[in-house]
Amino acid sequence: MANFFRDNEDLRFYVERWIDWEPIARATEHDFRSEGGPQNLGEALDLYRDILDMIGTFAAEEIAPHAAQIDREGVLFQDGEASFPPRLASIFEKIRSMELHGLCLPRELGGTNAPAMLYFIGTELFGRADVSVMAHHGFHGGIALAMLMFSMREGTSEIDPETGRILKTRFRSYIDEIVRGEAWGCMDITEPDAGSDMARLRTRAEEDAEGNWFVTGQKIFITSGHGKYHFVIARTEEPKDEADPFAGLGGLSMFLVPTYEDLPDGTRKRIVTLDRVEEKLGHHASVTAALSFDRAPAHLVGKRGEGFQYMLTMMNNARIGVGFETLGLCEAALAIARGYAAERRSMGKSIDRHEMIADYLDEMRTDIQGIRALAMHGGVHEELAQKKSLRLQFGRLSEIERARLGREIARHKREARRVTPLVKYLGAEKSVEMARRAVQIHGGVGYTKEYGAEKLLRDATVMPIYEGTSQIQSLMAMKDALAGILKRPAAFLRRGAEARVRSVSARDPLERKLARIQVLSHAAQQHLVVRTAGDKLGDALRSPVGSWSTKLLGSWDPKRDFSYAMLHAERLTRLLADEAIGELLFKQAQKHPDRREVLERHLERAEIRARHLADAITTTGDRLLASLSGTDEATPAAAE
């Protein structure tokens, strides 16, 4: 029997040998005191393996064999309603019967109370079978969890501090519906004239004299937009000027809007209009909808002006989830490419023995393992940050315990923040590249529908677009990197010096190679800081080290100061990703010698890329920036 979990040695390495499950299990099961839960780590691990084994078999046996049919039939749209053809409907009925919609929800809310890491890993398994099925599946339990987390954040949930049991939560009846498989939801952000630039959102929410809220506007490109529950970002404030705290993103609020109302006579009154279902290049099992709200009754979530912050709570998890989803697609591309190459013979041997094809397959395998290292690291730290934050909010702790827990949360958030844009960026970009290579390895038949390679390419194309474009991810990574340097310049210089020493003196040749990549990354970042900070850096260097941070964080002109760094943001992101992957794999190799081979393959390719990327960052860009500024002048570096 096929099983996408059992047949993946690298994935099983993380589950069985690398992830430290104890802090995750303890945080999830409240030190193994949860009613009806595992009583110790061993019982928890047995449960986790059983769940992943079940999902692995289901994805391989019940979804993957029908991927072509799902792609061909798509979804139905008639009389303003979207629905699924029988095959797709049966798959989601089986998902419901397996109780996967409540996988990570607490048992008292009808869930399994599994760690978020099981959901993330399951995302890869589903994504390998069909990413559009995974996309819709995610808007069941994911929305229910968002309802719970938002209620906790706004203070409308009650939790027993001794047992961690949820006594009351605001959206309980809605969560129950989703767990039963009777409803799902969606996140409504994008508008016709506002995509990544959320400050331009025009959908409005108004409050009447009785305190009731109503939402009016249009949203587009909404995944699973035919769901019952909509988390909607809408503008509630009219700022006086740009300095007003409610200007731009500060004027946005979060609302929960039910799509329809079930009336006592058994009929249904639709509140949110489903204008159309998009005809997409790929992701045919996932509804992508345009929606209209005309004074739709809405529930304010949190406080006015907090919409952007609530949205980020969902997006951080979603972006890590997309990273795992892209892993599934990459695994599918590698599997069909490897299978075809092993069978197809040309010039006296199978084409997987031809040097260029062997190189393609080796690079695909190596990149997948690198992306997975980032995804696992980000997922673990994101989960621990969230669960420890809940303990800090609801637990009975001494001041010393609160201080210690606060430091732990800050560390987990820092690690998750570091890799989240990297895994979303790299996973998305590589999924397109690997699907394209799968088509190429198949040759002419790859361009036909017979072998499925072209479907993977169509499905992959949206990955660099949704849940934050690749360009948005690269800007986040760049700004975080530069901000970290400006806040702690002495620490940055110290790390650079240490890397230079290790690059020539470390006993381990792989450590020296990793250090050379770190040196290149350091040089590229330093160059961007110099170009970005300009006169501020010179002023800081003439001052005591202790005052550098204050001087470097003075007033900025984003259009002028950041243009060079923005131009090179994607190059820097690729360099940072290679560096982070190398560091993570090096830690694995230190503990598990059999992982040295994985590290060696990554470093062999990454060092070459790092030299190219660092060179491009430090020697190019002035000509283009001069043309964008309307001048023909370029600095001497551009002519070199």
CATH code, 189: 2.40.110.20
Q: Is residue 94 part of a domain?
A: yes
pLDDT in tens, 48-81: 999 999 999 999 999 999 999 999 999 999 999 9
Same-domain check for residues 528 and 424: no
Q: 84 pLDDT band (50/70/90 cuts)?
A: very high
pLDDT computed for residue 640 by the predictor: 33
Higher per-residue pLDDT: 539 or 268: 268
User: Is 611 domain-assigned?
Assistant: yes
Q: Is 476 among the domain residues? A: no
269 and 355 within one domain:
no
Average pLDDT, the chain: 93
Give the DSSP per-residue string, 242-272. Answer: TTSTTSGGGGEEEEEEESEEE-TTS-EEE-E
Q: What is the pLDDT of residues 487-530, one digit of tens each?
A: 999 999 999 999 999 999 999 999 999 999 999 999 999 999 99
Where are the alpha helices (H) located in 224-345, listed in sequence order? 307-343
Total domains in the chain come to 4
At residue 195, the pLDDT reads 74
- Do residues 1 and 110 share a domain? yes
CA distance 159 to 161: 6
pLDDT at 633: 47
Q: pLDDT, tens digit, for every residue of 7-30? A: 999 999 999 999 999 999 999 999
Residue 115 DSSP code = -
- Which of 166-180, 237-251, 590-604 comes out lowest in average pLDDT? 237-251
pLDDT at residue 552, rounded to an integer: 60
Q: Do 44 and 168 belong to one domain?
A: yes
Please, are residues 427 and 463 in contact by the beta-carbon 8 Å criterion? yes
For residue 56, being part of any structural domain is answered with: yes
**Is pLDDT at 601 greater than 90 in this prediction?**
yes
Please check whether residues 163 and 298 belong to one and the same domain: no
Asked whether residue 477 is assigned to any structural domain, the reply reads no
| Listed residues 253, 277, 305: the one ending a domain | 305
Structural domain includes residue 104: yes
Least confident stretch, 124-128, 174-178, 241-245, 338-342: 241-245
- Give yes or no for residue 456 having a pLDDT over 90: yes
Answer yes or no: is pLDDT of 639 > 60.
Answer: no
- How many other β-carbons are positioned within 10 Å of the β-carbon of residue 403? 11
Asked if residue 537 and residue 394 are part of one domain, the reply reads no
Specify which of 156-165, 519-528, 620-629 reaches the highest per-range mean pLDDT.
519-528
User: Looking at the structure, do residues 317 and 298 belong to the same domain, yes or no?
Assistant: no
Task: Note whether 151 and 82 are same-domain residues.
Answer: yes
What backbone phi and psi angles, to 5 degrees, belong to 230?
A: -115, 120
| Beta-carbon count within 10 A of 460 CB | 28
Range of the domain at 515: 483-639
Q: How sure is the predictor about 551, in pLDDT bands with cuts at 50, 70 and 90?
A: low
In a domain, 410, yes or no: yes
For the cut 90, the answer to whether the pLDDT of residue 314 exceeds it is no
Could you tell me the pLDDT band of residue 541, with boundaries at 50, 70 and 90?
low
For 203-225, b where at least 16 C-beta lie within 10 A, e where not — what string?
A: bebeeeeeeebbbbbbbbbbbbb
pLDDT, residue 636, reads 41
- Asked whether residue 473 is assigned to any structural domain, the reply reads no
pLDDT of residue 555: 54
Same domain, 140 and 52: yes
Euclidean distance between CA atoms 121 and 54, whole angstroms: 12
Q: What phi and psi, each to the nearest 5 degrees, are found at residue 163?
A: -105, -15
The pLDDT of residue 357 is above 80: yes
pLDDT for 88 equals 98
Among residues 258, 274, 305, the one where a domain terminates is: 305
The domain that contains 400 carries what CATH number? Answer: 1.20.140.10
Distance, in Å, from the CA atom of 140 to the CA atom of 184, rounded to the nearest integer, reads 5
What pTM value is reported for the model?
Answer: 0.93
Among residues 162, 183, 204, the one where a domain terminates is 183
Residue 573 C-beta-side C-alpha neighbours within 13 Å = 27
Residues 510 and 586 in one domain: yes
* Overall average pLDDT of the 182-190 stretch: 96
Give yes or no: residues 398 and 497 share one domain: no
Residue type, 584: L
Q: Which is it for strands 268-270 and 260-262: parallel, antiparallel or unpaired?
A: antiparallel
Same domain, 231 and 279: yes
Q: Flag whether pLDDT at 5 surpasses 80.
A: yes
Give me the CATH number covering residue 53: 1.10.540.10
**615 has which bridge partners?**
none
Find, among 604, 430, 621, the residue nearest to 513 by Cα. Answer: 604
What integer is the mean pLDDT of 274-284? Answer: 97
By the 8 A CB rule, do 376 and 18 touch?
Answer: yes
